[in-house]
């Protein structure tokens, strides 16, 4: 019976939670005593946020945090444990298992991880490698059944995970056995622990959970690495490698104020530092202090987000939404925009990271907060657009100087890939053939940085807006970069006219961004066959009720999978794409907007519907503010830009 049916699940008092923030808008929840609650009333925003998820979805985020805290002897506060347990139970599937993400079918990877996590607050032998790394470190799996840590990874999110894991694997770090772990050894396997030949499972994974089949090259590389490790490697090389890896871990920690890039590598960094340093070292303490910003409380319990928030990303889209709604000069919204302006000011990077292998970041913006430490191309692009709108078009003080805007442009130009597109965190540094060494088993396309239509279009739009307001700064470089990026968008269009989206679901998301990017470059329905094909794709997917709906399985299957129900967010995406393309029949967009209006509540918001985000083609992630951002932008653009533009076109004819 699923745990959600149990009457014994405890919960905390939601009225005692308060959302704290610091000077750079890092968020973390704090649980007050009953006396403190009387002295500090709960705000409207806190009550509202307690009902929202934040970047939740993947099953390996919260479990990693729980394992890391357990391994490093951190006493989990009872209110955390209560709400973490409630969240895990809430997302158990009807068959008793858990999925790779909250809307996914049950698999061994997630089920074993969640089961062990619940005991800390199918058979595990065929769990994928990421589960095995944790199980081995927590002394529930033998290291001989774990694949060697890959030696050549170029995509940032995989690279920063395998960096600390390589230290743990190389030193076979394990937490000491205790009564609980001995019990778990009996509970999670279908035969006695000491009788299992773990090495025989080195390349065996439950077939329904392997998203990418192992190939001979990776198998040979793993066996060669194992032979080197067991029989050849001199101790001095091992010690030298340990020192090098520990130094890179230190750089990552210090460049991110011990936040690290995201939840997964944050947990592994904490564990690696715990084993490499003294258990009560300053580094371990600082890591423990930075756990809380990753945890989010809502009506389902406490979960770990994909990062320490999405503050910059959400703020940028909020600015764009208010502007497109025609409210930029409305006195009611000037203070809101002023606060957003100041936040984007303090969140911009004004230096490069102290790291020999990091992408230039000066002038760019991160995804969440400044102490995340990493630039993202589309976050930098949307940040540049937002500042230009605020300072050049809405009349706010120029607190972000021209030099800092130019820094952002220079950094964006440095991020363009050889195929003329733009990736996420950095310029592509290696060949796609490295995917043959992909060890993750559950993720596609995670070994190198790729170009994406979404990121490419965001950069095109930002560069074009900058060019409009600052025509004399690097005009030749900007024009050349935009022309090349437009060529990339043409080259990656699918045969059916769509574009594959890698960060949202899926073809609807990618097509919206591609049409917006092409429109910024002067390619519209009237002038471009590619744009007409993109519009035709969207027209064919419009549902009878006027909306659009696409399931997350599109990302995994790489073909459009229709949702049984129109989705507000995806309807807004489709309408925005059509309007950007200047599709001439406004009744199509009007039908979509009417659905958005019908779904709006009396208080102005929209209810959360199906999941909106994706990464690595297999793992969904929630963006709860998208239903506000894109709906407002679609409604506003129709009245303030699209209809007037169509009228002007007709008059010109």
User: Reduced to 3 states, what is the DSSP secondary structure of residue 236?
Assistant: helix
**What does the alpha-carbon distance between residue 244 and residue 221 come to, in Å, rounded to a whole number?**
22
Closest CA to 394 of 462, 471, 340, 461: 340
Q: Cα-flanking dihedrals φ and ψ of residue 564, to 5°?
A: -70, -15
DSSP 189: -
* R_g (Cα) of the chain, nearest Å: 25
**What does the alpha-carbon distance between residue 415 and residue 452 come to, in Å, rounded to a whole number?**
12
To 10 degrees, the CA torsion angle through 133, 139, 140, 145? 50
Which residues carry out catalysis?
378
**What does the alpha-carbon distance between residue 252 and residue 117 come to, in Å, rounded to a whole number?**
27
**What does the alpha-carbon distance between residue 257 and residue 280 come to, in Å, rounded to a whole number?**
18
What value, to the nearest 5°, has the Cα angle with vertex 295 and ends 289 and 299?
145
Closest CA to 367 of 342, 387, 351, 344: 344
Buried b (16+ CB within 10 A) or exposed e, 415-429: bbbebbbbbbbbbbe
Query: Do the Cβ atoms of 626 and 57 come closer than 8 Å?
Result: no
Question: CB neighbours (10 Å) of residue 13?
Answer: 11
Per the DSSP assignment, residues forming a β-bridge with 592 are none
Q: Which residue bears the tokens 């209809």?
A: 643
Task: Give the orientation angle of helix 453-469 with respect to helix 377-388, to 10 degrees.
Answer: 30
Query: Do the Cβ atoms of 545 and 566 come closer than 8 Å?
Result: yes
Query: Do the Cβ atoms of 222 and 256 come closer than 8 Å?
Result: no
Closest CA to 573 of 589, 552, 551, 560: 589
**What does the alpha-carbon distance between residue 555 and residue 501 come to, in Å, rounded to a whole number?**
8
Q: Which residue bears the tokens 């979509």?
A: 592
Query: Do the Cβ atoms of 300 and 199 come closer than 8 Å?
Result: no
Q: Cα-flanking dihedrals φ and ψ of residue 615, to 5°?
A: -150, 150
Going by C-beta distance under 8 Å and a sequence separation of 6 or more, which residues neighbour residue 551? 505, 561, 562, 563, 610
**What does the alpha-carbon distance between residue 6 and residue 635 come to, in Å, rounded to a whole number?**
43
Tell me how far CA of residue 208 lies from CA of 59, 99, 214, in angstroms: 17, 12, 14
Query: Do the Cβ atoms of 90 and 293 come closer than 8 Å?
Result: no
Which two three-digit tokens encode residue 536?
């035709």
**What does the alpha-carbon distance between residue 116 and residue 60 come to, in Å, rounded to a whole number?**
12
| DSSP per-residue string spanning 153-176 | --SHHHHHHHHHHHHHHHTT--PP
List alpha helices for 256-361, DSSP H.
263-276, 282-289, 311-324, 331-347
């Amino acid at each position: 019976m699923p745990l959600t049916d149990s009457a014994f699940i405890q919960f905390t008092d939601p009225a005692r939670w308060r959302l704290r923030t610091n000077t750079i808008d890092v968020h973390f929840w704090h649980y007050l005593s009953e006396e403190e609650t009387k002295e500090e009333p709960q705000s409207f925003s806190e009550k509202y946020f307690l009902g929202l998820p934040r970047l939740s979805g993947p099953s390996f985020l919260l479990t990693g945090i729980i394992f890391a805290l357990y391994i490093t002897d951190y006493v989990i506060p009872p209110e955390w444990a209560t709400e973490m347990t409630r969240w895990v139970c809430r997302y158990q599937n009807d068959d008793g298992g858990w999925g790779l993400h909250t809307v996914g079918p049950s698999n061994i990877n997630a089920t074993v991880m969640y089961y062990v996590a619940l005991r800390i607050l199918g058979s595990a032998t065929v769990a994928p490698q990421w589960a095995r790394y944790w199980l081995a470190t927590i002394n529930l799996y033998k290291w001989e059944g774990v694949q060697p840590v890959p030696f050549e990874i170029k995509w940032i999110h995989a690279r920063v995970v395998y960096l600390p894991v390589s230290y743990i694997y190389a030193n076979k770090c394990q937490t000491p056995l205790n009564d609980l772990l001995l019990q778990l050894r009996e509970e999670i396997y279908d035969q006695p622990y000491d009788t299992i030949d773990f090495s025989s499972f080195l390349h065996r994974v439950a077939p329904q959970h392997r998203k990418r089949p192992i190939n001979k090259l990776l198998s040979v590389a793993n066996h060669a690495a194992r032979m080197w490790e067991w029989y050849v490697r001199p101790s001095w090389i091992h010690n030298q490698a340990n020192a090098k890896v520990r130094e890179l871990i230190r750089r990552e920690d210090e460049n991110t104020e011990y936040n690290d890039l995201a939840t997964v590598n944050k947990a592994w960094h904490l564990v690696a530092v715990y084993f490499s340093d003294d258990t009560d070292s300053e580094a371990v303490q600082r890591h423990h202090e930075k756990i809380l910003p990753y945890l989010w409380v809502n009506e389902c319990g406490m979960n770990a987000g994909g990062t320490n928030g999405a503050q910059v990303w959400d703020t940028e889209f909020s600015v764009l939404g208010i502007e497109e709604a025609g409210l930029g000069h409305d006195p009611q919204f000037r203070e809101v925009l002023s606060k957003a302006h100041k936040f984007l000011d303090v969140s911009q990077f004004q230096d490069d990271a102290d790291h020999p292998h990091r992408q230039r970041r000066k002038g760019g913006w991160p995804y969440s907060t400044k102490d995340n430490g990493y630039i993202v191309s589309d976050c930098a692009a949307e940040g540049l657009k937002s500042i230009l709108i605020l300072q050049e078009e809405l009349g706010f003080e120029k607190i972000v100087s021209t030099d800092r805007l130019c820094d952002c442009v220079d950094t964006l130009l440095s991020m363009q890939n050889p195929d003329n597109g733009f990736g996420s965190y950095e310029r592509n540094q290696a060949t796609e053939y490295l995917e043959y060494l992909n060890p993750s088993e559950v993720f596609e396309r995670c070994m190198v940085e790729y170009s994406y239509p979404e990121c490419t279009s965001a950069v095109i739009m930002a560069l074009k807006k900058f060019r409009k307001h600052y025509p004399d700064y690097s005009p030749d470089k900007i024009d050349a970069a935009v022309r090349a990026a437009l060529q990339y968008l043409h080259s990656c269009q699918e045969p059916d006219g769509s574009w594959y989206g890698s960060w949202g679901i899926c073809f609807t998301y990618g097509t919206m961004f591609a049409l917006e990017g092409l429109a910024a470059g002067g390619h519209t329905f009237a002038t471009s066959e590619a744009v007409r094909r993109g519009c035709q794709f969207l027209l064919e997917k419009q549902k009878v009720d006027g909306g659009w709906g696409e399931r997350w399985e599109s990302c995994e299957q790489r073909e459009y999978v229709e949702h049984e129900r129109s989705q507000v967010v995806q309807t807004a995406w489709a309408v925005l794409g059509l309007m950007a393309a200047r599709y001439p029949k406004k009744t199509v967009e009007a039908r979509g907007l009417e659905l958005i209006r019908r779904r709006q509540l009396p208080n102005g918001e929209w209810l959360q519907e199906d999941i909106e985000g994706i990464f690595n083609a297999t793992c969904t992630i929630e963006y709860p503010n998208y239903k506000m951002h894109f709906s407002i932008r679609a409604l506003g653009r129709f009245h303030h830009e699209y209809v007037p533009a169509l009228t002007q076109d007709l008059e010109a004819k």
